[in-house]
Amino acid sequence: MLKLNGIFAPLATSFDSNENLSLGNMQANIEKLSQYDLAGFLSLGSNGELVNLSDAEKLSVYEAARKAIPSDKIMLAGTGGQSTRETINLSKMAAEAGADAVLVLNPFYFKSAMTKEALVKHYFTVADNSTIPVLVYNMPANSGMDMDADTIHAISAHPNIMGIKDSGGNLVKMGDIRQRVKPEFQVLAGSAGFLLPALSVGAIGGIVSLANIAPEQCIEIYKSFSEGNLTQAREMQLKVISLNLAVTGKWGVPALKEAMDYLGYYGGPPRKPMLPIKKEIKNELIKLLNDCNLKKVV
């Protein structure tokens, strides 16, 4: 079974000044990040602006990411669509491109219809038709839906559904899920802001945006906890909370890309309707980056 222990970087999708894909720059970012002891990468998660790409572009990104990701690191691919059929098609594309597993955000547009029964049927049908394992993606900040523990527990019964990335930050629910699901079902934190608390209730790692700009710090939290050094893990967790909030919940993908540019990666522009951050926000962001003593790369 595919083991997801450790820290994964959910990659930003690189665009040029005309908002066209810039796959070479994305691959250069992967090469730089691969110098760190990351478990792997997620292509086309929320950071990857999945919803802003055509299907042809998605396939190009999956293929380019797989070519750049070292063979000893895991590639996850975001494939969540609004219909079960779309999600299956994207999952097949990702598998053919070489992804090791797919991360599936729940459908959310028709919220009132997304009952427990509908969501379980959706995930089971995707898992039945996927040749690679499926991870559930709970991202209430973007989907407007927070799947409850009962629903996750029911979904986890499928043999091809291997775990969940939970970005909701509800540690009580995360612990409840961990206690109720089968032992091999893997729980991953969806944000570095609560990485250590998530590990303490049974998460085995994290798929965290901050790993794109602060991989060492995210890995240190994970490794310190794994080695029983809770004091060191707690100190690092506290150091990264403000920066994590800035590049996830507060200013989002445009701020993450600005931070990447500042630190020597390629960030580039987001794709509209998202806009680059304003100058005054950029100044605040740079101060946060400097306060955390993040390494610039060459």
Give yes or no: 165 in active site: yes
Task: Let me know if residue 48 belongs to a domain.
Answer: yes
Task: Let me know if residue 193 belongs to a domain.
Answer: yes
> DSSP assignment, residue 210?
G
Task: Let me know if residue 80 belongs to a domain.
Answer: yes
Report the distance separating Cα 141 and Cα 254, nearest Å: 16
Report the distance separating Cα 231 and Cα 225, nearest Å: 9
Reported pTM: 0.97
Backbone angles phi, psi at 21, to 5 degrees: -55, 140
Task: Let me know if residue 135 belongs to a domain.
Answer: yes
Task: Let me know if residue 255 belongs to a domain.
Answer: no
Q: Note down the domain range covering 210.
A: 6-229
- Residue 249: which pLDDT band, with cuts at 50, 70 and 90? confident
CB of 95 closer than 8 Å to CB of 131: yes
Task: Let me know if residue 263 belongs to a domain.
Answer: no
Tens-digit pLDDT profile for residues 152-201: 999 999 999 999 999 999 999 999 999 999 999 999 999 999 999 999 99
Residue with tokens 């810039």: 22
Task: Let me know if residue 124 belongs to a domain.
Answer: yes
Question: Which of the following is catalytic: 73, 165, 173, 282?
Answer: 165
Task: Let me know if residue 160 belongs to a domain.
Answer: yes
1 has a pLDDT exceeding 90: no
Give the CATH number of the domain where residue 80 resides. Answer: 3.20.20.70
Counting the structural domains of the chain, the total is 1
Tens-digit pLDDT profile for residues 213-237: 999 999 999 999 999 999 999 999 9
> Which helix (H) or strand (E) covers residue 202, if one does?
none
